Amino acid sequence: MKKLISILMAALLALSCTSFAVAEDKPAELTVWLQKTFSEDFNNGFAALFTEFGDANGIKVNVEIIDAAALRDTKLPAALESKQLPNIVYMEPASLVPYAQKGFLCNTQSVLDELKANGTEFYPSLLDTTYVGGQPYAVPFSAQSWMLWYRTDLLANAGYDHAPATWEEMLAMSKVTTDPAMGIYGAGFAAGASASDFNNMSQSILWSYGGSVMKDGKLNLDSEGSRAALKMLLKFFEEETVAPDMVAGDDMANNIAMLTGTACFIVNIPTIASALKSDAPDIWANTGCSPLPAGPEGSYPLAAVNMMSIMDCGEAANAWAAKALAYAVDESRLANLLKMVAPAYGMVFADTMDIADYMADPIVAAHMTAISTGKYYSYPDKEFTAARAALTASSTYINNIISYVIVEGMSFEDALARQISICEEAIKAVQ
């Protein structure tokens, strides 16, 4: 009997030592891949939070700040193929669902729990975007929404003293402010194949007309609301309120149009404000900002979330990566960094509206209102499914419909049918 008890106690002791060893099995290094933003200060500041954690815990943290296209198109796919994964990585919305479903990502509930215990909570609508199949696989750290930026002086010359309230009004204002002889066009819409700003703006206009890209898990571009929204978008081009070159422009083109004073309206995230302030102060002095115009169903801004995920690199590494991520995204540290780059990127914390000094800036206030009330790509569906994620590649952008009609001379029906066919193929490929 005594022998049995001794054996049992020895076994228990051995087990407890093992679990203690696992908990204390610190990785020597952690690798973090951050997406490069326009702000070097933010990039370096965010990276510094991870290295701070590493220094405090005796772990070498390697942070790489990588260009968005390189990270998404080559670096991460190459890492997945070679199984040389980073521990923590910036996650694109289009990649979250397929990667989570394939088991490349770790559940981040422990991170959210730790953050909540330390007083950091997120906007529920933004947190929902990190869920796949009812579980969180990422942690949001910033957000942005697309706003309307307009030239107050050009509008004043045309007899307007306010921003357009509706898309129809914006079309009318674009027409009167267009002056090809001066090289000024009302609508600075860059609608090239890779122009994500235009595609993102299109989500809002679709919703404002009661349409959407998907609804109830099915493609919804053919609905009455979607058709009306797309025809409204086409009018800007057909009525020559957009510079001819812009139909093939990329995401830089609309920024350049505003910075060079050749557009009256552009739709962009508030990074344009920083660029105008530093590079075109004269134009900035005559620039206003407002929420996107409304359609018959109201105004529906898109709120896009920037998020970080933990890649499955083994139990011990995952545990420490979770701690590192919780450290870096904690409101007490990250909020100060986001204040530094305001209004370019918005905060994701549930109590942001209570931060008086942050909300004192009217552009920040407008941006945060759009973020907190904004919809995600999946709207009106709640979950961002694999099918919806498949429709975030540039081949499935709304922009292509504009190109088919304006550039290739197709009829609207043929252009819509063609794009629907491409979207259906993309959905089929992931099902």
Is cis: bond before 362, omega within 30 of 0? Answer: no
x/- track of binding to other proteins for residues 163-182 (CB under 8 A): -----------------x--
Residue 216: left if φ>0, alpha if ψ -120 to 50, beta else—which one? left
From candidates 6, 9, 44, 183, binder to other proteins by CB under 8 A = 183
- Reported for 42-46, long-range contacts at CB under 8 A and 24+ positions apart, including other chains, are 42/337, 42/338, 42/340, 42/341, 42/344, 42/345, 45/337, 45/340, 46/141, 46/328, 46/334, 46/337
- Residue 295, SS3 per DSSP: strand
Selected binder of other proteins within 59, 71, 221, 426 (CB under 8 A): 426
Q: Is 338 in the site for other proteins (CB under 8 A)?
A: no
Q: Are 405 and 191 in contact (CB under 8 A)?
A: no
Smaller CB separation from other proteins, 272 or 334? 272
CA-based nearest residue to 310, from 20, 30, 24, 23? 30
Binding of other proteins by 104 (CB under 8 A): yes
- 69 or 156: CB nearest other proteins: 69
280 binds other proteins (CB under 8 A): no
Q: How far is the C-alpha of 24 from the C-alpha of 103, rounded, in Å?
A: 25
Site for other proteins in 29-68 (CB under 8 A): none
Asked if residue 138 binds other proteins (CB under 8 A), the reply is no
Contact assessment for residue 139 and residue 108, using Cβ atoms and an 8 Å cutoff: yes
Site membership for other proteins, residue 246 (CB under 8 A): yes
- Number of residues engaging other proteins in binding (CB under 8 A): 44
Q: Which stretch binds other proteins (CB under 8 A): 48-56, 74-82, 127-135, 158-166?
A: 74-82
Report the site for other proteins in 357-396 (rule: CB under 8 A). 389-390, 393-395
And the tokens for 77? 């796919």
Contact present, 265 and 149 (Cβ < 8 Å): yes
Secondary structure class of 118 (helix, strand, coil): coil
Q: In the bound complex, what is the minimum distance in angstroms from residue 418's beta carbon to other proteins?
A: 8
Segment interacting with other proteins, rule: CB under 8 A, options 19-27, 99-107, 131-139, 321-329: 99-107
Distance of alpha carbon 150 from alpha carbon 173, whole angstroms: 11
Nearer to other proteins, 136 or 249 (CB): 249
- 114 is a contact residue toward other proteins (CB under 8 A): no
Please, which residue, 80 or 353, has the CB nearer to other proteins? 80
Among 38, 45, 57, 98, binds other proteins (CB under 8 A): 98
The answer to the question of residue 256 lying near other proteins (CB under 8 A) is yes
Q: Is residue 89 close enough to count as binding other proteins by CB under 8 A? A: no
Rank residues 122 and 404 by Cβ distance to other proteins and give the closer one: 404
Is residue 223 a contact residue for other proteins (CB under 8 A)?
no
Name which of 2 and 83 has its Cβ closer to other proteins: 83
Task: State the DSSP code for 63.
Answer: E
* SS3 (DSSP) at 58: coil
To the nearest whole angstrom, how small is the minimum distance from the Cβ of residue 250 to other proteins?
A: 7
> Given the complex with other proteins, which of 248 and 420 has the nearer CB atom?
248
Encode 185-209: b = buried (16+ Cβ within 10 Å), e = exposed: bbbbbbbbeebbbbbbbbbbbbbbb
CB closer to other proteins out of 311 and 341: 311
Cβ atoms < 10 Å from Cβ of 332:
9
Which residues is 263 bridged to in the sheet? 185
Tokens encoding 398: 């709304």
- Contact segment (CB under 8 A) with other proteins among 202-210, 253-261, 321-329, 367-375 equals 253-261
**Segment contacting other proteins by CB under 8 A, of 44-52, 255-263, 365-373, 377-385:** 255-263
Q: Which of 192, 181, 130 has the alpha carbon at shortest distance from 407?
A: 192
Chain residues in the site for other proteins (CB under 8 A)? 73-74, 77, 80-81, 92, 94-95, 97-99, 102, 104, 180, 183, 192-194, 243-250, 253, 256-257, 260, 262, 389-390, 393-395, 400, 403-404, 407-408, 426, 429-430
